[in-house]
Structure 1
Amino acid sequence: MTDTRAPEAVEGQGFSWRPLLWLAVATFSMGIDGYVLAGLLPQIAGDLHVSAAAAGQLMSVFALTAAIAGPVFGTLTSRWERRTTIALALAVFVLGNVIVAVATNYPIALSGRVIAALGGSLLNAAVVAYALALTPVAHHGKALSFVLGGWMTATALGVPVGLILGQSSWRFPMILVAIVGTSALIGILLRLPKLHLPGGTLADRIRPLGQPRLVAGLFVSSGILCSSYACFTYATLILGPHFHEHWAMIVIMFGYGVASMAGNAITGRLVDRFSAIRVLTVILTGLLLNAILGMVALMLAPAVVAAVWGLVWFFSAGVGNGGAAVPQQARLASLAPDSAAIVIALNGSAISLGGALGSGLGGVALTAGAAPNGLLGVSAVILALTVLLHLLVSRTKPTTI
């Protein structure tokens, strides 16, 4: 069936999760891809004959490519039929992961990550636009929560499964991503209705950037992800010395995923009760204190205490990083209520940019001779700057453009 109606034509309908199910499966595959490599850096580095820091750049190049390509590809394809766009983006994403899975050297693996990111950047924006267009305004939050919930589910379920497979070969999780992505592709082609949306120009997409307060708010998103990925990308190097068994890191990554889901669920309720700014202030302050205390404990405490506190730090970071998304998106949407969809897309690029910078800074610090525990200090510095920027955005009066 071909549905060429404009988004407002579906306002009278109720919410149904069935048309969105395969979109959630697609974001689930992206979630596995986004997190599983962090737990396999030693295996990747050994197999491709590079340093752990270089292996971490496989995550950086994906995030950086997605940050740049997202707005551009979103604009170039804005007049395309949406189901076709999603299917094409997902196919490119799957192809990139297959290339990584069969890569015989580091440059080929890096190229595969770039290709996967080109598809992933367009896929994320197209999925969000489709979900918003297919559901009434009153159910937009529910639709996005369901579709993007694939990411959170991947951190709790998909990543541990991928890490278990990765104990035999780090390539198997990439094959898992390709299989899940292909399943979603088939479901999307068979089950999703076609949908045409009004096109937009690049000027339309970047117009909100004329508001300095909003730009600063987007950089808060970058700061949160930058501080997170500076440590998360190298979590195996930070916690590995305290937990030598392979299964231990699988359990720890599972715990991080559960903590992220819990943080997302908790703050979703808190934002409805308190202001998004207040909730975000508490979360950012908590993340900063957690990074400082975690670094001190891992560096100076006795081995047993350091191991326990390392878990406290990592899981608390999961709660905070998972919980920051809801209040931050709510705050950004309030800064430009007439351009909410565009702001969400720009926020996706800001998040990808932050992830790329975080992985890159962590790799630079390790290459320069820093101990893995020292990455918590890098994270703390980034968080301190992010807290200051957040407070500045919160106290600055809005401007009109």
Structure 2
Amino acid sequence: MTKHNKWIVLILAIGVFSILNTEMGVIGILPLIADHYHVSISQAGLVVSLFALAVAVSGPTMPLLFSGFNRKKVMLLVLGIFILGNIISAFTSNFTILLFARVIPAFFHPIYVSLAFTVAASSVSKEEVPKAVSRVFIGVSAGMVLGVPVSSLIASATSLGTAMLFFAVVNAIVFIATFLLVPSLPVKERLSYGAQLSVLKKSITWLSLIAVILMNGAVFGVYSFLAEYLETITKLSWNAISFMLLLFGGANIIGNIIAGKLLINNAIKSAVSFPFALVAVYVILFLTGQFSVPMALTTLVWGIIAGIGANLNQYWITSAAPEAPDFANGLFLTAANLGTTFGAAAGGLLISGMGTEYVVWVGILFVILSLVFILLRNYLSTLNRAGLVSGVKED
């Protein structure tokens, strides 16, 4: 990888960090949003679930619609929209306006993240593609988890509005770096819409999508309310909560690094093992979550497993549709965010009906269901390799 290409990949990694940071960073300040706007914690959770739903809806369509345009110009457009949305979020005193200021940029989210994977892969040799993509994925993972403790620390030290402005500042830094350092990226070979949509004819694509929805729902159905759990069940202070969220984030990055090796060595075994590992973590969390030290250890392990799961989700879908990488990455974002939407909604409902301590059972239910679809995909893949079925080609 040349020095120039390393800079491009680094900017893309920071770019996806800024986008995912906007989406997930509010998780750490949900209780503060609820207090500031005088809404319930489940209503405050709409800033997460509605954002994720918008990404899920636009995931398959927006990357397709913008696939013929200069990629640098498209990325600058998306970053500009996010900057404006975050500035509005920082200064509005109306909860409905806050929701609109977050949901509108969310529709453009899949464009940038999908392009980041594609541009990173196309900027290096074929042998270095996994390394380049994994570096961009570190930005994805960092945005999904490190933005949470950082925004929590900023909000607790200053104000909710300042935490929202932090999202805009990160977006602006990437906008400037992209404008100055990334060369023009015109599209040289454009796949037709029909060629890309044809991957939806394969059963293995749909099994992969459902499995990823459930796997991501299993993680974020619980993680979306981690700050609330730590406050009400573990009885931690805001500084301690920020530390725990940072611990989860750091562990997630470690899991991201480990995942690269696991997927290279044995992707199928890793996929089958993931649900069992996550169920074990949730059972331990349910039994010992009221104790700070066991909770810290559980959070560390949970973060590593969640990091592995995020990489596994992306691989699970793109490996099912390697002939259409842009569209496959869009489908991945749709499935992942549908999982976040369903998981967060289910978690909020369970908290409202039974109490915060029972939110882990949403994760357990989702992860058990995900195992069913993981095994079904493996079964179809085995039949395909044996030549017993057709239409489920998997490279």
Q: TM-score, normalised by structure 2?
A: 0.90
Aligned to 2:8: 19
Distance 1:385 1:155, change over 3 A: closer
Determine the C-alpha separation between the residues in 2 that align with 1:326 and 1:206: 23
Query: What per-residue deviation string (whole Å, max 9, x for no partner) do you get for residues 218-242 of structure 1?
Result: 2111111111111111111111132
Aligned to 1:310: 295
Q: How much has 1:119 moved relative to structure 2? A: 2.6
Distance 1:277 1:384, change over 3 A: same
Q: How much has 1:15 moved relative to structure 2? A: 7.8
Query: Which range moves more in the overlay, 90-99 or 149-158?
Result: 149-158
Aligned to 1:267: 259
Aligned to 2:240: 248
Determine the C-alpha separation between the residues in 1 that align with 2:86 and 2:347: 24
Query: What per-residue deviation string (whole Å, max 9, x for no partner) do you get for residues 101-156 of structure 1?
Result: 12211100110111220232221122222222222222211221222322333456
Contact 1:41 1:52 in 2 (8 A): yes
Q: How much has 1:161 moved relative to structure 2? A: 2.7
Aligned to 1:52: 41
Aligned to 2:177: 187
Q: How much has 1:365 moved relative to structure 2? A: 2.1
Aligned to 2:195: 204
Q: How much has 1:381 moved relative to structure 2? A: 0.7
Query: Which range moves more in the overlay, 239-248 or 44-53?
Result: 239-248
Q: How much has 1:204 moved relative to structure 2? A: 3.3
Q: How much has 1:19 moved relative to structure 2? A: 2.2
Q: How much has 1:183 moved relative to structure 2? A: 1.1
The one-letter code sitting in structure 1 at the alignment partner of 2:288 is A
Aligned to 2:387: none
Determine the C-alpha separation between the residues in 1 that align with 2:391 and 2:64: 24
Distance 1:265 1:337, change over 3 A: same
Q: How much has 1:206 moved relative to structure 2? A: 2.7
Aligned to 1:224: 215
Contact 2:5 2:123 in 1 (8 A): no
Determine the C-alpha separation between the residues in 1 that align with 2:218 and 2:307: 13
Identity %: 24
Determine the C-alpha separation between the residues in 1 that align with 2:193 and 2:43: 34
1:128 to 108, 117, 120: 117
Aligned to 2:365: 381
Distance 1:161 1:332, change over 3 A: closer
Query: Which range moves more in the overlay, 29-38 or 373-382?
Result: 29-38
Asked whether 1:349 is paired with 2:334, we answer: yes
Determine the C-alpha separation between the residues in 2 that align with 1:180 and 1:129: 22
Query: Which range moves more in the overlay, 189-198 or 324-333?
Result: 324-333
Query: Which range moves more in the overlay, 180-189 or 238-247?
Result: 238-247
Query: Which range moves more in the overlay, 352-361 or 129-138?
Result: 129-138
Contact 2:89 2:164 in 1 (8 A): yes
Q: How many residues align?
A: 382
Query: Which range moves more in the overlay, 195-204 or 349-358?
Result: 195-204
Determine the C-alpha separation between the residues in 2 that align with 1:161 and 1:327: 25
Query: Which range moves more in the overlay, 166-175 or 202-211?
Result: 202-211
Asked whether 1:364 is paired with 2:354, we answer: no
1:117 to 89, 92, 106: 106
The one-letter code sitting in structure 2 at the alignment partner of 1:22 is I
Determine the C-alpha separation between the residues in 2 that align with 1:101 and 1:67: 24
Query: What per-residue deviation string (whole Å, max 9, x for no partner) do you get for residues 276-306 of structure 1?
Result: 01012112211012212322334xxxx5xx3
Query: Which range moves more in the overlay, 287-296 or 65-74?
Result: 287-296
Determine the C-alpha separation between the residues in 1 that align with 2:88 and 2:193: 31
Distance 1:332 1:42, change over 3 A: closer
Report the RMSD for the aligned CA atoms in angstroms: 2.1
1:239 to 230, 242, 246: 230
Instruction: For residue 338 of structure 1, give the secondary structure of its aligned residue in structure 2.
Output: coil
Aligned to 2:304: 319
Q: TM-score, normalised by structure 1?
A: 0.89
Q: How much has 1:157 moved relative to structure 2? A: 4.8
Note the residue ranges of structure 2 that are not aligned, 5 or more in a row. Answer: 385-389
Aligned to 1:178: 168
